[in-house]
Amino acid sequence: MAEQLKILGVCGSLRKGSLNMAALRACNELMPQGMAMTITHIEDLPLFNQDVFDAGIPEAAKRFRAEVSGADGVLIASPEYNFSLSAALKNAIDWASRPPNQSWQDKPVAIFSVSQGPLGGARVQYDARRILGQLWAHVLPRPEVFIGMGPSKFADGKLTDEATKKFLTDLLAGFKPWIERMRVKK
Ligand SMILES: Cc1cc2nc3c(=O)[nH]c(=O)nc-3n(C[C@H](O)[C@H](O)[C@H](O)COP(=O)(O)O)c2cc1C
């Protein structure tokens, strides 16, 4: 049987009605064959503190680090907060970034963003790409998917906009060969 790539879905919004989470869930139906996604949660991660880390990594952070390390690729859906990352997403990235075995090393990552404004979170994506790049994650350069005017593209917690579904389908279709190309054989 062909190998099934394990994708970890991470949503940077903690909101129950998050549009980013709705789009991430929609990706389950838009993925090419040979990829399967599990969506994790990050709201239980404490605020990063090196003293806490040094005293013994909290269970939630251990779990998140193991999830990132064990995934073939990480798919991030990110809101834009004040032109940048939500605190929750930055905190999760930080927890998985500390040695030993920093979890982002050589990790294929794809990112998209949903925002209320017309730019669709362009600014947060460039910040996230910069942060993950210096951790030696390999972030898919293209296609870029910015879902602007978010509320108009969802109904009852579901992605309804056909053009947006096509953009996400193309992103996922590009992510698969990117993972195969970038991942390090262990
Ligand atoms: C603290 C905060 C800051 C925000 N800053 C921006 C912003 O810089 N650009 C933008 O397009 N939308 C901004 N928004 C609006 C978000 O795009 C909108 O709330 C979006 O739906 C959040 O994603 P979610 O639905 O996944 O929670 C902000 C929202 C919050 C709560």
pLDDT computed for residue 3 by the predictor:
80
* Cβ of 84 below 6 Å from ligand 1: no
pLDDT computed for residue 1 by the predictor:
61
Cβ atoms of 37 and 76 within 8 Å: the answer is no
**Any idea what DSSP says for residue 143?**
S
Residue nearest to atom 1 of ligand 1 (CA): 81
pLDDT computed for residue 38 by the predictor:
98
pLDDT computed for residue 65 by the predictor:
98
Q: How far apart are CA 37 and CA 28, in angstroms?
A: 7
Q: How far apart are CA 8 and CA 112, in angstroms?
A: 14
Q: How far apart are CA 27 and CA 36, in angstroms?
A: 10
pLDDT computed for residue 183 by the predictor:
79
Cβ atoms of 40 and 74 within 8 Å: the answer is no
Averaged pLDDT in 10-residue chunks for the chain of 186 residues: 90 98 98 97 98 98 98 98 98 97 97 96 96 98 97 98 98 98 78
Which residue type sits at 93?
Answer: I
